[in-house]
Amino acid sequence: ETGVTQTPRHLVMGMTNKKSLKCEQHLGHNAMYWYKQSAKKPLELMFVYSLEERVENNSVPSRFSPECPNSSHLFLHLHTLQPEDSALYLCASSQEWTGTYEQYFGPGTRLTVT
Amino acid sequence: DAKTTQPNSMESNEEEPVHLPCNHSTISGTDYIHWYRQLPSQGPEYVIHGLTSNVNNRMASLAIAEDRKSSTLILHRATLRDAAVYYCILRPWDNYGQNFVFGPGTRLSVLP
């Protein structure tokens, strides 16, 4: 247990569906992150939030929409996804958004787009 | 972003020490060296990080070269549970505009 939880753990959705991934951290951290891990590829950073403000958006398609209502919760809203979006989506948090602090990852949501 | 280079794979015997190398010849003075590992079907797990001096914690030790152009993660007694992909990453303390850039890492196999 890292103190970062993600739900659901598995999700299958059609290309026309809308779904949301949820992340919650119980560590009192100020920064939260979304990563994507496709098969046979390194982790890719998608979004970074610091104190509920988005500070990084790594050229992610608009069909992925993040939301950070408070420093403990992070959502990733999904709509009209493509099969190539099938991947493991990981949430992480850290004390602050600097390299001084380590990140703690959740277990991920395995997403399959059909 | 400064880059790191790691061997694709390594093998170790159970209960023996393991030294996982990482080269980061373009490291800057403000870069922290972070190590994470990812077990099969799990999210990455923080292992250790440091700036200039060697670091120890309950999981591992981090040995940093004097010129900081390379580092070594040391697992003192490998167990089967240590089989994972190990990532070495650089991250500046003044983070703004920088990201965690994960490479392919080193896949460690532990033989019983």
pLDDT digits (tens, 9 = 90+) for A34-43: 999 998 788 8
Nearest chain B residue (CA) to A87: B41
CA–CA gap between residue B98 and residue A62 (Å, rounded) = 22
pLDDT digits (tens, 9 = 90+) for B33-64: 999 999 988 899 999 999 999 999 999 999 99
What's the pLDDT score for residue B2?
61
- Any CB–CB contact under 8 A between A40 and chain B? no
What's the pLDDT score for residue B103?
85
Rounded to the nearest 10 degrees, how much is the dihedral formed by the CA atoms of B34, B97, A101, A64? Answer: -90
Residue A81 pLDDT level (bands cut at 50, 70, 90): very high
Nearest chain A residue (CA) to B31: A99
What's the pLDDT score for residue B102?
83
Measured in whole angstroms, the distance separating CA A37 from the mean position of its chain's CA atoms is: 10
Residues in contact with B66: Cβ distance below 8 Å, sequence separation at least 6, in sequence order? none
How much is the mean pLDDT over chain A?
92
CA–CA gap between residue A19 and residue A29 (Å, rounded) = 26
What's the pLDDT score for residue A90?
97
Please name the member of A42, A56, A107 whose beta carbon is closest to the beta carbon of B99. A56
Which residues of chain A neighbour B32 with C-beta distances below 8 Å? 99-100
Q: Which one-letter amino acid corresponds to residue A75?
A: F
Q: Is the pLDDT of residue B81 over 80?
A: yes
CB A106 within 8 A of CB A5: yes
CB B110 within 8 A of CB B58: no
Contact criterion met (CB < 8 Å) for A45 and B92: no
Please name the member of A42, A58, A90 whose beta carbon is closest to the beta carbon of B43. A90
